[in-house]
Amino acid sequence: MTLLSVRDLRIGFGNTQAVDGLSFDLEAGGALGIVGESGSGKSATALALLGLHGEARIEGSIDFDGLELTSASEDQLRAIRGAGIAMVFQEPLTALSPFHRVGDQIAEVYRLHTGATRKAARERAVEVLRQVHIADPERRARAYPHEFSGGMRQRALIAMALACNPRLIVADEPTTALDVTVQAQILDLLDEVRTATGAALLLISHDLGVVAGSTDDVIVMRRGAVVEAGATDQVLVTPRAAYTKDLLAAVPKPSPARVIQGGPLLRVSGVSKRFRKFTAVDDVTLDVREGETLGIVGESGAGKTTLSRMMVGLIPPDRGSITLAGADIARRRGRSVQMVFQDPMSSLNPRRTVGESIADPLRLLGELAPRVTIEALLVRVGLAPSHYDSYPHQLSGGMRQRVGIARALAPSPRLIVCDEPVSSLDVTTQAQVLALLEDIRLERELTMVFVTHDLAVLRQIADRVVVMHDGAVAEMGDVASVYDQPQHAYTKELLAAIPVADPLEARRRRALRRAGLDGAGLDAEPLGATQIE
Amino acid sequence: MTGYLLRRVGGAIVVLLGLSIIVYALFYLAPKDPAILTCGKGCTPDRLAEVRAAMGLDASPPAQYWEFLRGLFLGRDFPAGPDVRHCPAPCLGYSFETDQPVTKLLTDRLPVSASLAIGAEILSLAVGIGAGLLSGLRRFRILDRIVNGLILAGYAVPVFLVGLFLLLLFCVRLQWLPFPTYVPFTTDPAAWAENLILPWIALAVIQSAAYARLTRAGVQESLAEDHVRTARAYGIPEGRIVRTRALRGALVPLVTLTAIDLAAIMASAVLTETMFGLPGVGQLLVGAVNQIDLPVVVGVTLLTGFLVVVANAVADLLYAAVDPRVQLR
Amino acid sequence: MRRTLPATLAAITLAGSLAACQGGGDTGTTTTAFDPATCQGGTLSVLNQGGITHLDPARLYTSGGGNIPSLLFRTLTTRNRLAGEAGTKPAPDLATDLGTPSDGAKTWNYTLRDDIFFEDGTPITSADVKYGIERSFAPELPGGAPYLRDWLVGAAAYPGPYKAPEGLTSIETPDAKTIIFKLSKPEGDFPFLATATQFAPVPKAKDKGADYEAHPVSSGPYMVEKYEPKKTLTLVRNPHWSKAADTLRYACPDRIEVTSGLDAAVINQRLTSGAGQDANAVTTDAVVGPEQLAQLGSGSELDKRVARGEFPSTTYLAFNTKKAPFDNPKVREALSYAINRTSVVNALGGSAVVGPSTTFLPPQKALGYQPYDYFPAGDNGDPAKAKEVLAAAGVTNLTIELAHQNDDSEGIGPKVAAAIQDAFKQAGVTVTLNAIDTATYRDVTGKPATQPGLALATWGADWPSGGPFLIPIFDGRQIITAGGNFNQSQYNDPAVNAEIDAIQALTDPAEAQARWGALDAKLGKLALVLPLTHEKDVYLYGKNVKNAVPDGWRGTYDLARISVK
Amino acid sequence: MTLFRRLLDDRAFLTGAVIAGVMVLVALFAPLLTALAGQDPTTFHPELLDSARGGVPLHGITADHWLGVEPGTGRDLFARVVYGARVSLGVAVSALALQLLIGVGIGVAAGLGGRYTDAVLSRLTDLTLAFPLLVLAIALLAIVPQSWPRPALLAVVIALLGWGGTARIARGETLSLKTRDYVSAARVSGAGTLLVARREILPGLAAPVLTYAALILPSNMITEAGLSFLGVGVRPPTPSWGQMLSSATTWFRADPMYVFVPGALLFVTLLAFVLVANGVRRVVDPRQREVLR
């Protein structure tokens, strides 16, 4: 039986058409994935389903269980929201009201749609919290959202979605803001909930790996239009559309192993760093060998960013030493080490031209008229010489990251530390930038430290891998050995959580996770609150 | 929480001590002698020296400050005729001008300033939140415009101009209201309010503009937040969203500001008090400065400082109360 | 050491309205057939600008007992509460007469009445009067007029009864009814001085030093019910005062409520509209403003509720003749020609409340006023003549500095200074203004070392006589270098000094008045000072108020005689 | 420049800018304007006053005196308000310049300095922000010698007490800019603190600080007027709107024109500057929170 039927949906904001002729059907109890890069119109679709598109113009038809939603009254829509169609949003940090207790928020929705008593609603809240595997739900129901970890908040949101037994759950990028292990848990939970309650699932993501294991059918969207649609197994394994192929090709693949002969260039020995009561880096010792690419991987809070900043001398360590070719790193800033940063928005001064930003390190080194050098560099990273006079806001994210690479290259460093250089880029751009980095590394015989949360990326680019967990090194070794024979439990967990675009492999891994973990390690880490001093 | 309070109190003491030192230093740097005023006309140098000694001004400034500090914590005895008079801690001394205990002067004036502040705050909050809410929800475009205009005007008028206009209109032209004189609330509540209504309005014209601005911004910002979208997505009615979420969000900056404003009006509504002839703390200070009445100036400054420090602490507590994310450490 | 004889003017900041030494009324409304016997009852409101800062008789600086203090304190003598000329004379109060001088007016002997009591019923003795005077010497109780320190034998170093309980030997009280003062030189004006509140009796047993003023023990018709400095004073009847023992104070109202710290415009507005209790209200220090002036003289109802008086005071420019260019008499003369008195009058509130002065003595007969105008400037100044005088003297491009107070509270502030600046500019003289903080103004101008070349000054009479008006300003022996100097011209002519001594020895007031007037006229020729204005006072009173007659001494109506019945 | 075009589309801003511009011109060319009117701000005209009625003007607006004359002195009102604009604007603008200098200096120093520098400077900033400016200004102005030039003194006092807001904004902005990767990049390249402050931080401060500055200008004018109104600011014969209003309070029943002229001018000018500030804020920083009070 068709639960949701969308026909020729068009959504426009002002002059832009966010969604341009989208049609699909979703069976009761089925699971449909919508995949696309940013700007593909997938979130606008989700909001339109609930009539929450605001000022946008909407055409076409959305039929939910016999009710035409595009022409439904506000009262009809309100009755559907939460009770018929429940949404799970992207940002668990902000999607819950910070002023109300988690249990109260869930109970409020339940009472609103069922007219239940306060007591019954509270009990229902505890029940759904238990259903999403929140430990000690009676107590947790009385907590505020900020007292929950990110994963728990997303669970609470799913619990809220479950409260009124909806027929359809719409999950809009439900895992984007989460660490990879938590992401796996949430996807597993959604899958479990769907089976348990019989609700249909509409899963929206930019990541093929996210939808691969959790959906029956998939729609690939690009710039508001459907590129390809069909059964998940078919689309992801044998794509027909060129764009789908590109997407799949952009997913990082392992590269052949290299043999590194260089001696240690950067030595990190016994380094620790504390921020107030929080130990960011805890007694880390490692070497970066001349000519290699050392990957550092870990989830948020693992201390990898702090470590990388210490490596370039931006933050002094509390204990231990970091030396570059025998000299303390604090004295080698500028010439020998450079850094490529994560956020292309913030890594360039918005008020200065691209060329000026690159010129600074050269000027500091005594080059008075660096324009020619810089223009050559710009060309090398795939930009035009005329970009010298551009301002950052005139460039796309990928172009900005190329500028960042050019700036790092300008003083001809021996070592470049890249801190999540591609994680804020779309999949296709990500692949291009990674390729550029690899080219340059080879060409200039650079040593590179590559910091990321993405194990897949690392497998493609790194020679050796350092797995960080809670500020310490959990495991260190060659790419092949770490990936194929992980020793540390945490490494295993990480590897098991990597989303893969192959539906079969995704399902196999889910089964593994269910067998091995089953709800363990889900408890909340205490989170800091805003402090007034 | 205890640690927070302890640090707050410690910080407050440092601030207040620093403030009193600054005031003392400024007054001894200034080439003025309060004894000349006290001694009166036709005062001879001999007599002046005697009077100066009697006022305790012959000691070195650090010694005088030390005496002041001791009095503040331990109380102090002043020679005054046949007997000494004892000034119990916290002793701020006696006014040079009227010989009254400064603590009494302050406690006399505070009710006036508090009446002014509390009434003005209530009025400002009612008008400000109402206007801010209406314009923040953008229910009526024209209303939004009007509120916008009022907010800008509230920014642009000095309080004495509003006061002048109100007096001219209500007391001179229309003669609806008497010229304000302070009547204590305990004496006659109706007369109290009648006499204070104009100063309240004058302050509210300016204050409510700020509150309206803040409320509007808070409401608009809250309504744009993700959790409001969640609430909408779960069918929670708009009115309820505004009440329990948007207003709640707007409340956070508002309560902090209210606490601080309350202290600020109590301590420094000099212009309003002058304009409407209200014998409040601000007027006390202006008079004391003109009369080089050091104990009163120090007293008012300390009171002002105390109020501000307390208001800031209260603001923090309120902040923690309205926003569960905030913890006091 | 020698002391100066400072006089005061209306409402100086310290003593506020209590120092209400306004006086010298020559007109005043004629209220016919007022019967003090039937005036009793009601509550009188007093709405004032200046707050009462002190209520201790030792600390008050008042003329003739002041307006409000004389309701509480009886003194050895007091002002004769009559309009016009008659009001400028002292009258016996606690004493049976104005005092008996002997030893060439160096000894003054008073006998107290028999029927005088404190508010607790205790009889008032000469020891109480002596103690009251001694208290005023205590440095803990500063503020009173300094004459006693100067006049009494051995008083200059007396530290008051708290440090020197043995007391002043120059005041003798041989019995409870007799009090004898020994002076260091002849002082014919002693009966005038004996009107000051320092001559009020204070019972030693009730003296609490600085705290005494919270409830000073009354000897007058009223006593304190409630007193809050600078805010309110409520007076109720003193049961131990009897009308038979005090014929001067009628004490008509049952209750008097003083509210201070009000805006002058508000006071006048309230008196004009006279709503409610304001119908029974008066003011002793808020002269009418332009709004009321517009209604006066047009036969309006308000015309009947106006009291006009004149307090002897002069606002003038003080030249420092020891400083260039004011050591040059031609410069002083030229400026005297250039002055535009109309501008100054307007700056001070218009012709209704101040009048132009060409003489240093204000126009009161009691002071010995004789009209003169040696450098006729007309109403608006004669800049042409001024230029001529300057040119003749060879003075060109004259630039001078004018010192003034930094606010207008005493009428010698920026407003008047600006008017003078403009007037002198017309004569080609550039004036730069030098504002001095009001609180320290007299300290700066009163020390010859710091005294500016040209300063705005004002002088009022402590009692209506030529002596206290001329001696401090022109007696060369009064130039005090240590501070507190009022002879700002620093003029010292032995002939003038001798004339002053001669007049002081006179016992006939009429003769003395003529000689003071002649001396003023003689000094006027030298342009030692540039007289600007004298004070006129116009006060409103409430609709129910009767017998608001300004006395000749202070220019305001006497609260002790007002009825609101 | 799209920013500029957006400003030009804002009618409120345009109105404000035109009025504010006119007022600035009036202040700059005050001598010329008064010469045109054939008057000057200090000459007394006792002949135009009714001395018996306290000195109220005999006539209202005349051909010679475009706005009438001042009661009590007979000085030309037009000349006085025109010169008053000089003082009001002059004091406000010079105070603003000083405030920005101190505020940005302290704010950037706190933002870039170490923990203790930041703690000390931030507490200092909080102190100046928390304490009622007017009270301190009154006390300060009362103790300095009267002979010091008042308008300059006023500007200094207003600036000394009013730099807190600028400092707080500059510090907050610096703290946020400091964490931007381009600042890290500059430091990795070996740039020192001063160079970082000059090249990377200061340009970023321009927009938020100037937006805020646009609002403190009218607030400075209000402070100046308030202080002069209380009698501790500019003194006669120097005309300033606040001081004129102060003397006008005693005349407002007898001569309402005297209140109206400086009062209306003050209000209109303030409103104009607020409109300008508002327009600038909306265009430069549409998402900036409304922390400006």
Chain B CB within 8 Å of residue C97 CB: no
User: What ipTM was reported for this prediction?
Assistant: 0.80
Q: What is the pLDDT of residues C112-153, one digit of tens each?
A: 999 999 999 999 999 999 999 999 999 888 888 888 888 899
| Residue B51: predicted pLDDT | 86
Q: Average pLDDT of B15-37?
A: 79
Which residue in C has a C-alpha nearest to residue D253's C-alpha?
Answer: C291
| Residue C292: predicted pLDDT | 84
| Residue C1: predicted pLDDT | 31
Residue numbers in D near C343 (CB within 8 A)? 44, 46, 73-74
Which residue in D has a C-alpha nearest to residue C441's C-alpha?
Answer: D146
Q: What is the pLDDT of residues B99-110, one digit of tens each?
A: 889 999 999 889
Chain C nearest CA to D26, separation (Å): 24
Chain D nearest CA to B43, separation (Å): 23
Residue numbers in A near B244 (CB within 8 A)? 97, 99-100
**Amino acid making up residue C383:** P
Chain B CB within 8 Å of residue A83 CB: yes
Chain C nearest CA to B194, separation (Å): 16
B236/A80 touch (CB, cutoff 8 Å), yes or no: no
Q: What is the pLDDT of residues C428-475, one digit of tens each?
A: 999 999 888 888 888 889 888 889 999 999 998 888 888 888 998 999
Cβ(A396)–Cβ(A433) below 8 Å: no
| Residue D2: predicted pLDDT | 62
Q: Average pLDDT of C505-532?
A: 90
B329, with CB counted inside 10 A (0-12, 13-18, 19+), is: exposed
In the predicted structure, residue B43 carries a pLDDT above the cut 80? no
Q: What is the pLDDT of residues A409-419, one digit of tens each?
A: 888 888 999 98
Q: How far is residue C264's CA from residue D56's CA, in Å, rounded to a whole number?
A: 17
Q: What is the pLDDT of residues A168-218, one digit of tens each?
A: 999 988 887 788 888 888 888 888 888 888 899 999 988 888 888 889 999
| Residue C145: predicted pLDDT | 83
C/B touch flag: 3 or more CB pairs below 8 Å: yes
**Amino acid making up residue D160:** L
Across the interface, which of C291, C351, C353 has its CB nearest the CB of D254? C291
Lowest mean pLDDT among A237-251, A505-519, B307-321, C16-30: C16-30
Helix (H) or strand (E) holding C349: none
| Residue C493: predicted pLDDT | 93
Please report which residue ranges of C352-437 form alpha helices under DSSP H: 383-392, 414-426
- The DSSP secondary-structure symbol of A256 reads -
C380/D250 touch (CB, cutoff 8 Å), yes or no: no
A514-529 in b/e form (b: 16+ CB < 10 A) is eeebeeeebebeeeeb
Q: How confident is the model at residue A334 (pLDDT cuts 50, 70, 90)?
A: low
Which tokens go with C107?
A: 């000894």
Chain A nearest CA to D96, separation (Å): 24
Q: Average pLDDT of D134-148?
A: 76
Cβ(C403)–Cβ(C450) below 8 Å: no
Residue numbers in D near A346 (CB within 8 A)? 180-182
In the predicted structure, residue A279 carries a pLDDT above the cut 80? yes
Cβ(A97)–Cβ(B325) below 8 Å: no
In the predicted structure, residue A533 carries a pLDDT above the cut 70? no
Q: What is the pLDDT of residues C68-118, one digit of tens each?
A: 999 999 999 999 888 878 888 899 999 999 999 998 889 999 999 999 999
Chain D nearest CA to C343, separation (Å): 6
User: What's the per-residue H, E or C state across chain D?
Assistant: CHHHHHHHHCHHHHHHHHHHHHHHHHHHCHHHHHHHHCCCCCCCCHHHEEHHHCCEECCCCCCCCECEECCCCCCEHHHHHHHHHHHHHHHHHHHHHHHHHHHHHHHHHHHHCCHHHHHHHHHHHHHHHHCCHHHHHHHHHHHCCCCCCHHHHHHHHHHHHCCHHHHHHHHHHHHHHHCCHHHHHHHHCCCCHHHHHHHHHHHHHHHHHHHHHHHHHHHHHHHHHHHHHHCCCCCCCCCCHHHHHHHHCCCCCCCHHHHHHHHHHHHHHHHHHHHHHHHHHHHHCCCCCCCCC
Beta-bridge partners for C402: C433
Which residue in D has a C-alpha nearest to residue C381's C-alpha?
Answer: D46
In the predicted structure, residue C10 carries a pLDDT above the cut 60? no
In the predicted structure, residue A353 carries a pLDDT above the cut 50? yes
φ/ψ (deg, to 5) at D23 = -65, -40
Q: How confident is the model at residue C21 (pLDDT cuts 50, 70, 90)?
A: very low
Across the interface, which of A86, A97, A531 has its CB nearest the CB of B329? A531
Which tokens go with A147?
A: 């007292």
Across the interface, which of C290, C419, C434 has its CB nearest the CB of D254? C290
Q: How far is residue D59's CA from residue C540's CA, in Å, rounded to a whole number?
A: 27
Specify the 3-state DSSP secondary structure of C362. Answer: coil
Q: Which of residues 233-262 of D touch B (CB under 8 A)?
A: 242, 245, 248-249, 252-253, 256, 259
Cβ(C518)–Cβ(C370) below 8 Å: yes
Across the interface, which of D189, D200, D206 has its CB nearest the CB of A364? D189
Share of chain A above pLDDT 90, in %: 16
User: What sign does the dihedral D262-D267-D270-D273 (CA atoms) show?
Assistant: negative
B233/A530 touch (CB, cutoff 8 Å), yes or no: no
A3, with CB counted inside 10 A (0-12, 13-18, 19+), is: buried
Residue numbers in B near C484 (CB within 8 A)? 42-45
C35, with CB counted inside 10 A (0-12, 13-18, 19+), is: exposed
Which residue in B has a C-alpha nearest to residue A109's C-alpha?
Answer: B234
Residue numbers in B near A532 (CB within 8 A)? 4, 316, 319-320, 326-329
A98/B324 touch (CB, cutoff 8 Å), yes or no: yes
Across the interface, which of A98, A144, A533 has its CB nearest the CB of B329? A533
Cis preceding-peptide flag for D203 (omega within 30 of 0): no
| Residue C56: predicted pLDDT | 92
Chain A nearest CA to B327, separation (Å): 6
C484/B99 touch (CB, cutoff 8 Å), yes or no: no
C/A touch flag: 3 or more CB pairs below 8 Å: no
B226/A530 touch (CB, cutoff 8 Å), yes or no: no
Q: How far is residue A357's CA from residue D188's CA, in Å, rounded to a whole number?
A: 13
Q: How far is residue C268's CA from residue C540's CA, in Å, rounded to a whole number?
A: 7
Cis preceding-peptide flag for B90 (omega within 30 of 0): yes
CB atoms within 10 A of CB B85: 17
Considering only CB atoms, which residues of chain B are within 8 Å of chain C? 31-33, 36-48, 50-51, 53-54, 78-83, 85, 94, 97-100, 108, 171-172, 175, 178-179, 181, 277, 279, 287, 290-292
Cβ(A394)–Cβ(A350) below 8 Å: no
Find which of C268, C343, C431, C432 to mutate to test the D interface (most D CBs within 10 Å of its CB): C343
Residue numbers in D near B23 (CB within 8 A)? 139
| Residue C314: predicted pLDDT | 94
Q: Which of residues 100-139 of D touch B (CB under 8 A)?
A: 127, 130-135, 138-139
Higher pLDDT, C93 or A69: C93
Q: Average pLDDT of C34-55?
A: 88
Residue numbers in A near D184 (CB within 8 A)? 309, 314, 339, 341
- The DSSP secondary-structure symbol of C200 reads S
Q: How far is residue C493's CA from residue C474's CA, in Å, rounded to a whole number?
A: 9
D71/C290 touch (CB, cutoff 8 Å), yes or no: yes
How far from B136 is each of A438, B21, B198, CA to CA, in Å?
52, 46, 28
D/B touch flag: 3 or more CB pairs below 8 Å: yes
Average pLDDT of the residues of chain A? 85
Q: Average pLDDT of A309-338?
A: 83
Which tokens go with A91?
A: 């940002």
In the predicted structure, residue A528 carries a pLDDT above the cut 50? no
Q: How confident is the model at residue D291 (pLDDT cuts 50, 70, 90)?
A: very low
Q: Average pLDDT of C303-330?
A: 91
In the predicted structure, residue D51 carries a pLDDT above the cut 90? no
Cβ(D64)–Cβ(D40) below 8 Å: no
| Residue D285: predicted pLDDT | 60
D226/B160 touch (CB, cutoff 8 Å), yes or no: yes
Higher pLDDT, C222 or A180: C222
Q: What is the pLDDT of residues C332-356, one digit of tens each?
A: 999 999 999 999 999 998 898 999 9
- Residue of C450, C558, C565, C536 lying closest to C221 (CA atoms): C558
User: What's the per-residue H, E or C state across A356-393?
Assistant: HHHHHHHHHCCCCCCHHHHHHHHHHCCCCHHHHHCCHH
Q: How confident is the model at residue B139 (pLDDT cuts 50, 70, 90)?
A: low
Rg (CA), chain B: 24
Chain D nearest CA to C138, separation (Å): 30
Residue numbers in C near D72 (CB within 8 A)? 346-347, 349-350, 415
**Amino acid making up residue C504:** Q
CB atoms within 10 A of CB B186: 8
Q: How far is residue B49's CA from residue B44's CA, in Å, rounded to a whole number?
A: 9
User: Ranked by mean pLDDT, which of B210-224, B245-259, C312-326 comes out on top?
Assistant: C312-326
In the predicted structure, residue A224 carries a pLDDT above the cut 60? yes
Tell whether pTM > 0.95.
no
Residue numbers in D near A343 (CB within 8 A)? 181
Chain C nearest CA to B95, separation (Å): 10
C139/B53 touch (CB, cutoff 8 Å), yes or no: yes
* Total beta-carbon pairs less than 8 A apart between chain A and chain B: 91
Q: How far is residue A518's CA from residue A185's CA, in Å, rounded to a whole number?
A: 9
D185/A407 touch (CB, cutoff 8 Å), yes or no: yes
| Residue C118: predicted pLDDT | 95
Cβ(B182)–Cβ(B279) below 8 Å: yes
Beta-carbon contacts of C258 under 8 Å, excluding residues fewer than 6 positions away, are C45, C46, C48, C52, C68, C232, C233, C234, C235
In the predicted structure, residue C33 carries a pLDDT above the cut 70? no
Higher pLDDT, C411 or B328: C411
Across the interface, which of A309, A314, A349 has its CB nearest the CB of D182? A349
